[in-house]
Amino acid sequence: MEALETFRQETREWLEANCPPSIRTPMPDDESPWGGRNPKWKNPESKLWMDRMASRGWTAPTWPKAYGGGGLTKEENLVLMQELRRINARPALMSFGIWMLGPALLQYANEEQKLEHLPKIVRGEIRWCQGYSEPGAGSDLAGLQTKCEDKGDHYLVNGQKIWTSYANYADWIFCLVRTDTSKKHEGISFLLIDMANGGVETRPITMISGASPFCETFLTDVKVPKGNLVGELNKGWTIAKALLQHEREMISGMGLGNASAGSSFASLEQAAKDYVGEVDGKIASAGLREHLTRQRMDGKAFALTMQRSMEEAKAGHGPGAASSIFKYYGTELNKRRYELLLEIAGTQALGWEGDSFTAEELSIPRAWLRSKGNSIEGGTTEVQLNVVAKRVLGLPIE
């Protein structure tokens, strides 16, 4: 307990000295710190912040120090997160490497692969993207067909991925490939591919929000060194599933309501008073007030459930059945939150451009549209419900 307090004190002092002023303000989308070989630093303090945090391993606080991580315990990490939140610090590094690939590599990669890739992820030197989905393999991911042939001293990869988020900015792609066509799940392997080595082409797809955050990714006669296979040949499905678990945890966090748009409002309730008006201290629209209360109650119940799951894990009861609902429930909550923002701000939330809208207001419709993908990416709501029905409830669905 005392050691933890000392840690908190030291952390607080270090953050005070090292977190630049602009980093303690809300982050505009175009200042997101993704790092990579060709990083865009609109705000130079973003880079400074990333480098300082990375030097302590705090871009990946719980990873072992041997791989560049911070080596923090869960408790210390919690303290760090609390202290970061206390000063409203922006993330130092946003990274699929940290959120998804790293944990999988820590569990399944060999020592050489860990030493090669993990430190570069921590330092934000390499930006990764996820090559799972294909035109014919979405929810039924194990139906993927991207072909990977053993050519003796290397692998040869041919096929197409789709919905690859930020593939056009990424340096490397972690891919699921087919190495055995006679089996479904047992014919899949997990491969790391350097996208600069030729044969990889990306074409951005425009989303309903107007942004182009994902791509079609074409792989044509791509040569991949044999050392880039993670785990055993044809055993990639296990790794794929473990990684999906991390991805879903990351997406579930959205249910806690700290997503970007609308976050500059003190609270949804205050925003409702501002836009709709108040009578005797109550939001003037009884219907909206009720919707907000349902949302707030469900949000609190969800946060408590995530906390309970954490406490259960800490008490050694394992992650518990409750964790299976997080992706589904968190994303549905997040979608509802944006629908509420539209209701609150009325036509001021429906503007697309022009001076009669604040920057905050203009971000609402875009974020609202983007949120619709939450219940699709990383496994759809329906697929999540199938998993709960089958695995948790033991219902005999196909």
Partner 1 sequence: MALVLTEEQTMLRDTAAQFFKERAPVANFRKLRDTNDATGFDKSVWKEMADLGFAGVMIGEEHGGTGFGPVGLGLVLEQAGRTLAASPLVSTVLVGATAVELGGNALQRNDILPKVAAGETVLALALEEGAHHNPYKIGTTAEDHSGTYRLNGRKTFVLDGHVADRFIVVARTGGHDTDRHGLTLFIVDAGTPGLKVTRTKMVDSRNAAIVEFENVSVPSDNVLGSVGAGADILDPVLDLGRIGLAAEMLGLVSQVFEETVTYLKERKQFGKPIGSFQALAHRAAEMFAEIELCRSVVLDALSAAAERRNDVAQMASLAKARLSDVARLVTNEGLQMHGGMGMTDQFDVGLFMKRARVAAATFGDANFHRDRFATLAGY
Ligand X SMILES: Cc1cc2nc3c(=O)[nH]c(=O)nc-3n(C[C@H](O)[C@H](O)[C@H](O)COP(=O)(O)OP(=O)(O)OC[C@H]3O[C@@H](n4cnc5c(N)ncnc54)[C@H](O)[C@@H]3O)c2cc1C
* Residue among 110, 206, 212, 293 that touches partner 1 (CB under 8 A): 293
Is the CB of 285 or the CB of 374 nearer to ligand X? 374
Assigned token pair, 351: 């503007």
Q: In the complex, what is the shortest distance from the CB of residue 200 to partner 1, in angstroms, rounded to a whole number?
A: 38
Spatial contact of 153 and 163, defined as CB atoms under 8 Å apart? no
State the binding partner of 317 from ligand X, partner 1, none, CB within 5 to 8 A by kind. Answer: partner 1
- Radius of gyration from C-alpha coordinates of the chain: 22
Q: Pick the closest to residue 178 from 203, 200, 156 (CA basis).
A: 156
Q: Does 281 bind partner 1 (CB under 8 A)?
A: yes
Spatial contact of 243 and 98, defined as CB atoms under 8 Å apart? no
User: 185 to 244, contacts with ligand X by CB under 6 A?
Assistant: 214
Q: Does 272 bind partner 1 (CB under 8 A)?
A: yes
Whether the CA torsion 215, 182, 398, 393 is positive or negative: it is: negative
Is the CB of 138 or the CB of 253 nearer to ligand X? 138
* Residue among 87, 115, 208, 321 that touches partner 1 (CB under 8 A): 321
Q: Does 297 bind partner 1 (CB under 8 A)?
A: yes
Q: Does 269 bind partner 1 (CB under 8 A)?
A: yes
Q: Pick the closest to residue 132 from 155, 152, 160, 151 (CA basis).
A: 160
Residue 383 CA to residue 381 CA, distance in Å, equals 5
Q: Does 331 bind ligand X (CB under 6 A)?
A: no
Is the CB of 82 or the CB of 293 nearer to partner 1? 293
Spatial contact of 43 and 26, defined as CB atoms under 8 Å apart? no
Assigned token pair, 15: 């953050």
Query: Which three-class secondary structure string do you get for 303-355?
Result: HHHHHHHHHHHHCCCCCCHHHHHHHHHHHHHHHHHHHHHHHHHHHHHCCCCCC
Is the CB of 87 or the CB of 208 nearer to ligand X? 208
Residues 245, 159, 192: CA angle, nearest 5 degrees? 50
Listed in sequence order, the residues at least 6 apart from 19 whose beta carbon sits closer than 8 Å to its beta carbon are: 49, 87, 89
x/- mask, ligand X, residues 379-398, rule CB under 6 A, reads: xx-xx--x------------
Taking CB under 8 A as the binding criterion, the range among 18-26, 62-70, 257-265, 297-305 that sits at the site for partner 1 is 297-305
User: 369 to 388, contacts with partner 1 by CB under 8 A?
Assistant: 382, 385-386, 388
Q: In the complex, what is the shortest distance from the CB of residue 305 to ligand X, in angstroms, rounded to a whole number?
A: 23
Q: Does 292 bind partner 1 (CB under 8 A)?
A: yes
Q: What are the φ and ψ backbone dihedral angles of 121, each rounded to 5 degrees?
A: -70, -45
Spatial contact of 104 and 245, defined as CB atoms under 8 Å apart? no
Assigned token pair, 173: 């792609």
Q: What are the φ and ψ backbone dihedral angles of 4, each rounded to 5 degrees?
A: -65, -35
Residue whose entry in the numeric block shows the structure tokens 């998993």: 387
Q: Does 165 bind ligand X (CB under 6 A)?
A: yes
Q: Does 217 bind partner 1 (CB under 8 A)?
A: no
Q: Does 373 bind ligand X (CB under 6 A)?
A: yes
Q: In the complex, what is the shortest distance from the CB of residue 115 to partner 1, in angstroms, rounded to a whole number?
A: 38
x/- mask, ligand X, residues 125-154, rule CB under 6 A, reads: -----xxxx----xx---------------
User: 251 to 290, contacts with ligand X by CB under 6 A?
Assistant: none
* Residue among 90, 273, 337, 370 that touches partner 1 (CB under 8 A): 273
Q: Pick the closest to residue 270 from 297, 294, 288, 254 (CA basis).
A: 288
* DSSP secondary structure letter of residue 39: -
Collapsing DSSP states into helix, strand and coil, what is residue 253? helix
Q: Does 312 bind partner 1 (CB under 8 A)?
A: yes
Q: Does 395 bind partner 1 (CB under 8 A)?
A: yes
User: 323 to 342, contacts with partner 1 by CB under 8 A?
Assistant: 325, 328-329
Interface with partner 1 by CB under 8 A: which residues? 269-270, 272-273, 278, 281-283, 289-290, 292-294, 296-298, 300-302, 304-305, 307-308, 311-312, 315, 317, 321-322, 325, 328-329, 382, 385-386, 388-390, 392-398
